[in-house]
C-alpha cells in the first residue's frame, strides 16, 4: 500500500475525482440548460430528488453519532438546522428545503395531492439504499465522501447549469420564491462543499481509508447517474 496523502494532497485527490466524474455532465442537464424540459419534467426531477434528499438530516445524524471530532459534529449540526430551515446564513432565507422543493413543483402546475403522494422511482430507491448502506455500515469519513463529495458539493455545478435556463427560458426572475430551491443550493453548497471536503481531508489519515473514500465517491456518482438515466428515459418516452 502506498504511503498516505497529507490533508492537502488528499483534498486535491477528492476534488480531482469529483471534477472528472461530475454529475453536471449528465445529458438531463444538457436538455435542461437548453430549456428543453417541460415543467412536468422539471417538477419530476425536483420531487424525486426531494424523496432521497429529505433523508439527509437522518443520515447526517449518523455522522454526528459516529464522529468524535467536535468541528465535524458542528458542521453537520449546522447543515441539519439549515436543511430544516431553522437557521439562515448570509442574509439568505430560512425555509425548510422540502418546502422549497414543493413550492417549485406547485409552480410547475403539479397538484398538492400528487406532490404529497409521489412514489419513488427504482433509481430513487437505489439512491436511498446506497446512502443508508454507507452511513450505517462504513466509517463516518466514507459517508461524508458519499454525501458531500459525491453529491452535495456537485449541486453548485448543477445549479450553475439550471439557473440561467430558469431565468432565460422559463421566465423566472432572480430571487423569486418559486426557484428558491435552486438559488439557495447554488450558494449554500459552495460553502458546505468546501467545509465538508476540508474536514474529510483533515481527519482521514490512513491510505487505505483514503482509497475507500475515493471508491465511495465513484459509486455515489454512478448511482446518481443511473437515477438520472431513469428520469431521462421517462422524459424521452413521454
- Contacts with Fe ion, residue ranges (CB under 5 A): 97
97 vs 103, which CB is nearer to Fe ion?
A: 97
Residue appearing with cell numbers 412536468: 40
Query: How far lies 218's CA from each of 146, 199, 200, in Å?
Result: 8, 19, 16
Q: Min. distance of Cβ 236 from Fe ion in angstroms?
A: 28
Between vectors from CA 219 to CA 214 and to CA 223, what angle results, nearest 5°?
150
Q: Min. distance of Cβ 13 from Fe ion in angstroms?
A: 26
106 vs 212, which CB is nearer to Fe ion?
A: 106
Helix H segments across the chain?
7-21, 27-33, 39-53, 56-66, 70-83, 97-107, 112-116, 122-137, 140-144, 155-168, 180-202, 207-236
Task: Give me the residue whose beta carbon is nearest to Fe ion.
Answer: 97
Residue 98, CB half-sphere, CA atoms under 13 Å: how many?
13
Q: Min. distance of Cβ 181 from Fe ion in angstroms?
A: 8
Q: Min. distance of Cβ 235 from Fe ion in angstroms?
A: 24
85 vs 234, which CB is nearer to Fe ion?
A: 85
83 vs 142, which CB is nearer to Fe ion?
A: 83
Amino acid at each position: 500500500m502506498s504511503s498516505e496523502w497529507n490533508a492537502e494532497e488528499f483534498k486535491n485527490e477528492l476534488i480531482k475525482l469529483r471534477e472528472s466524474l461530475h454529475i453536471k455532465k449528465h445529458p438531463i442537464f444538457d436538455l435542461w440548460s437548453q430549456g428543453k424540459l417541460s415543467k412536468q419534467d422539471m417538477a419530476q426531477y425536483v420531487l424525486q430528488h426531494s424523496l432521497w434528499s429529505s433523508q439527509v438530516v437522518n443520515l447526517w445524524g449518523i455522522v454526528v453519532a459516529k464522529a468524535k471530532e467536535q468541528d465535524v459534529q458542528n458542521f453537520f449540526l449546522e447543515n441539519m438546522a439549515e436543511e430544516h430551515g431553522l437557521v439562515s446564513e448570509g442574509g439568505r432565507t430560512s425555509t425548510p428545503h422540502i418546502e422549497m422543493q414543493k413550492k417549485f413543483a406547485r409552480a410547475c402546475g403539479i397538484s398538492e395531492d400528487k406532490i404529497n403522494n409521489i412514489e419513488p422511482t427504482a433509481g430513487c430507491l437505489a439512491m436511498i439504499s446506497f446512502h443508508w448502506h454507507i452511513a450505517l455500515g462504513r466509517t463516518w469519513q466514507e459517508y461524508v465522501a458519499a454525501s458531500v463529495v459525491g453529491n452535495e458539493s456537485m449541486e453548485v455545478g448543477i445549479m450553475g447549469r439550471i439557473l440561467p435556463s430558469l431565468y432565460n427560458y422559463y421566465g423566472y426572475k432572480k430571487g423569486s420564491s418559486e426557484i428558491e430551491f435552486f438559488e439557495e443550493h447554488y450558494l449554500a453548497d459552495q460553502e458546505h462543499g468546501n467545509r465538508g471536503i476540508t474536514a474529510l481531508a483533515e481527519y482521514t489519515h490512513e491510505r487505505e481509508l483514503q482509497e475507500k473514500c475515493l471508491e465511495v465517491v465513484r459509486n455515489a456518482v454512478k448511482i446518481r447517474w443511473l437515477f438520472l438515466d431513469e428520469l431521462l428515459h421517462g422524459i424521452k418516452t413521454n
